[in-house]
Amino acid sequence: MTIEELRKAAETEREAQKKYVHHVCVCTAAGCLSSGADQVLEAIKKEVAESGMKHEVLAKGVGCMGLCSAGPLVSVETEDRLYAGVTPEQAPEIIRSLDAGGGEGLTECPTNVPFFERQKKIVLENCGRIDPERIEDYIANDGYRALVTVIAEKTPQEVVQEVIRSGLRGRGGAGYPTGLKWSTVAKTGEQQKYVICNADEGDPGAFMDRAVLESDPHRVLEGMAIAAYAVGAQKGYIYVRAEYPLAVKNLKIAIRQAERMGLLGNSICGSRFSFHIDIRLGAGAFVCGEETALIASIEGKRGSPRPRPPYPAESGLFDCPTLINNVETFSNVAPIIRRGAAWFAAIGTEKSKGTKVFALAGRIKNTGLIEVPMGITLREIVHEVGGGIPDGKRFKAVQTGGPSGGCIPEQHMDSPLDYESLKLIGSMMGSGGMIVMDETSCMVDVAKYFMEFCKSESCGKCIPCRAGTQQMHGLLEKITAGEGTAADLTLLQELCDLVRNTSLCGLGQSAPTPVITTMQYFPEEYQSHIDGQGCAAGVCACGPKHADPEEVRK
Amino acid sequence: MLTYLGPTPMPSDDKRWKIVEATARRHGREPHALIETLHTVQECFGYLDDTALKFVALTLRLPMSRVYGAATFYHFFTLKPKGKHTCVICTGTACYIKGAPALLNAIEKAYGVKPGETTSDNELSVLTARCLGSCGLAPAVVFDGAVLGKIGAANLLARVEKGIRHDH
């Protein structure tokens, strides 16, 4: 496929879509799907056919629109309306109201609120707008233009340089400069190289990668193909969780479509560049998000990490140089090539460029998926984009980075969101899960929850992590039961230090972070548990007990 | 040096073994096909029993220890058959702070099973999930494949009871 042919295909699809007066989009990503979005789409399609508006109204299933807590969502793109909590019975009303402007009995979401206006969409630019199962829709939105241009006009070195200039950093959590990683792999002289997309999103409370894979799978494929061209790889793997069946299904469809159009597979666009992508299913091991463990898992072994160096960039999958990047990192590649490194570098802060996608959840009004420019403050995210805490409760902490991240209290809410600032206050960017907690959460209990997670997800290879997490969990159990002593707190602190500094991989090294940050920012809560004053939030076994657990839930 | 001794005999006439065999063949019976093949077994049979593990080991020419090691390492694989109904309670962070522990307690009180266990009459299996990714619907539960969002303990029990009674 040449640039000219691609442009023509995009033009044809745009023309075809323009014929419709109205575009009705139903979110069919996992969040809305679990509240019955598939039936809503079915009903709307039926209604369109029955009312004889087949040539005026285009009804399609699209990806995640972001406001997951208000699902199922239906948007009328041509009128810029968004309906929340739609039921199949409301389908006729939606179709009827198309020309009238607003229907009765429908819950309309205002789109001029901070939740939508404060966002800047690069990775999610197509999410909720295109049909993930149709490559034509992606191509009509400038899809694959970057890949075709790169193959026709740029050398691999130029692509690597462009990514370096953009300042893009790994979105998986650690923030390693992406361009540097690419150039390391590109420089190795080996024949066989691999590109791996890490879609093993194991952090509880994180669903950004799933949303991208479900809503815009071609974006990831295009990013991987550009990466493969730049580093000289012929084979790629996407390691995705088996718990994401819809993401796997959409990816499979996308790969088949791209291969059929000659955008993946042998001699792409008639060039000498070939690239094949295969999907590998994860099997529910959190540690497989660590790159060396992930490689072991693709090789069919247990997901145990190994010491680095050698880094995967030199010796990775099947001992060949391997480039591993996260879903979100790959998703940023095509826009960077299309719009130029300078455009991307102008967004964000000095050291953290671009945007970051966060999964906002917990005790917050607007639960869902957001994409904000780097450098925004936590306060803006929680109180403006997120809409604040519901039920008049008081904000307590926000947890970023999943089990590897920390709890950030009120006093640090004004620090900007970038890799360095988050590290400075003891947490980390992580993959982008963001859980908001209010006064009904006990921080000791939260620390115990994460430690329980790390304990059972530890692969067991190195002793500090295997035994250390077990011991720390035991101490936290003791403290939450009201049987802890001051000596236990000291021991806990020592263990944190030991496990952090001596574990083999990222899981163990970061496992103590939730404990360290809660002990640092909420020492009074630990103190009241060991002083016999009990748990102020009423969550822990030591009481003061709430009348019944139902009330805590509310 | 290993020599290829022809296809491994199927454990039984069950057609599902052929699907398992096809997965192994598609990956050239290479050791790296292990996890993909185990996925196929679980998809076809619902769980991994000794016969299946032995068959996979022979087909891929891997030691039993390696197959058993992988099957027990990954949480997604289960070595025991599940009950007629499954109730998966999400214990992701968002669900946890919004009341997943109360749901677990309620189920344990009513049916006497902890996560990972099946009732003695084989009616109900209770499982926990690390995170369903439906954090917008927290606390979330998957009962027999249907996602129940923002659910309280009383509603959950009613729903489970209804599901079980439906069969009788």
Q: What is the ipTM of this complex?
A: 0.90
Q: Which CATH class is domain A355-438?
A: alpha beta
Looking at the DSSP bridge assignments, the partners of residue A357 are A371
Give the three-class secondary structure for A281: strand
Query: Which part of chain B has CATH 3.40.30.10?
Result: 85-167
Q: Given 3.40.30.10, 1.10.287.130, 1.10.3470.10, 3.40.1390.20, which CATH number is that of B85-167?
A: 3.40.30.10
- What pLDDT score was predicted for residue B4? 62
Nearest C-alpha in A relative to B60: A300
Task: Give the type of residue at B76.
Answer: F
CATH superfamily to which A17-111 belongs: Glutaredoxin (3.40.30.10)
Do residues A176 and A89 lie in contact, with contact meaning Cβ atoms separated by under 8 Å? no
**CA dist., res. B165 & res. B70, Å (int):** 37
With contact defined as beta carbons under 8 Å apart, do A530 and A479 qualify? Answer: yes
CA-based nearest residue to A217, from A255, A267, A266: A255
Q: Do the beta carbons of residue A199 and residue A250 sit within 8 Å?
A: no
Residues 6+ away with beta carbon under 8 Å from A413: A377, A378, A379, A382, A398
Average pLDDT over residues B101-121: 92
Query: Closest chain B residue to A302 measured between Cα atoms?
Result: B70
Nearest CA-CA distance, residue B47 and chain A, Å = 13
Mind giving me the DSSP string for A472-534?
HHHHHHHHHTT---HHHHHHHHHHHHHHHHH-SSHHHHHTTHHHHHHHHH-HHHHHHHHTT--
Instruction: Look at residue B2 in the predicted model and tell me its pLDDT.
Output: 58
Concatenated DSSP letters of A459-489: -SSSHHHHHHHHHHHHHHHHHHTT---HHHH
Nearest by CB to residue A34, choosing from B96, B134, B139, is B134
Residues of B whose CB is below 8 A from A318: 32
B104 interface with A at CB cutoff 8 Å = no
> Which segments of chain A belong to CATH 1.20.1440.230?
443-553
Domain with CATH 3.40.50.11540 in chain A: 143-345
Cβ-Cβ contacts under 8 Å, A550 against chain B: 102, 152-154
| Contact with chain B for residue A361, Cβ under 8 A | yes
Of A169, A188, A307, A300, the residue nearest A239 (C-alpha): A300
B94 touches chain A (CB under 8 A): yes
- What pLDDT, on a 0 to 100 scale, did the predictor assign at position B147? 85
- Rounded-to-integer distance, Cα A455 and Cα A514, Å: 13
A514 in B contact zone (CB under 8 Å): no
- Rounded CA-CA distance B68/A304 in Å is 15
CATH 3.40.30.10 domain span(s) along chain A: 17-111
The string of pLDDT tens digits covering residues B30-71 is 999 999 999 999 999 999 999 999 999 999 999 999 999 999
- Residue A404 at interface with chain B, using a CB cutoff of 8 Å: no
- Put simply, the answer to whether A243 touches B152 (Cβ < 8 Å) is no
CA distance to partner chain B, nearest, from residue A166 (Å): 31
Q: Which run of H or of E encompasses A108?
A: strand A107-109
What residues does CATH 3.10.20.600 cover in chain A? 355-438
Can you tell me the distance from the alpha carbon of A512 to that of A493, in angstroms, rounded to the nearest whole number?
9
Contact criterion met (CB < 8 Å) for A552 and B76: no
Contacting residues of B for A244, CB less than 8 Å apart: 133
CA A235 to chain centroid, in Å, comes to 24
In this prediction, residue A544 carries a pLDDT of 62
Tell me the pLDDT tens digit for each residue of B3-37: 666 677 888 889 999 999 999 999 999 999 999 99
Which helix (H) or strand (E) segment holds residue B61: the answer is: none
Do the chains contact at B153 and A283, CB–CB below 8 Å? no
Residues of chain B above pLDDT 90, percent: 68
In this predicted model, what pLDDT tens digit does every residue of A486-540 receive, in sequence order?
999 999 999 999 999 999 999 999 999 999 999 999 999 999 999 988 898 888 8
Residue B138 is predicted with a pLDDT of 86
pLDDT in tens, B125-154: 999 988 887 888 889 999 988 888 889 999
What is the CATH number assigned to the segment(s) A143-345?
3.40.50.11540
Chain B contacts in chain A segment 446-465 (CB below 8 A): 446, 449-450, 453, 459
Query: What residues in chain A have per-residue pLDDT under 50?
Result: 545-554
Query: In whole angstroms, what is the distance from residue B37 CA to residue B58 CA?
Result: 12
Contact in structure between B123 and A524 (CB atoms under 8 Å): no
**pLDDT reading at B104 higher than 90:** yes
Q: How far is B44 from chain A (nearest CA, A)?
A: 15
Contact in structure between A318 and A333 (CB atoms under 8 Å): no
- Architecture of the domain spanning A443-553: Up-down Bundle (1.20)
Average pLDDT of chain B to the nearest whole number: 90
By residue count, chain B amounts to 168
Contact A320, A213 (CB under 8 A): no
Interface contact flag, B74 A283, Cβ < 8 Å: yes
- Give dist(CA A357, CA A359) in Å, integer: 7
Alpha helices in A208-264 (DSSP H): 208-215, 217-231, 245-260
Contact B140 A34 (CB under 8 A): yes
Instruction: Please tell me if residue B24 touches chain A, with a CB cutoff of 8 Å.
Output: no
Closest partner residue to B135 (CB to CB) among A244, A298, A361 is A361
A207 to B133: CB separation less than 8 angstroms, yes or no: yes
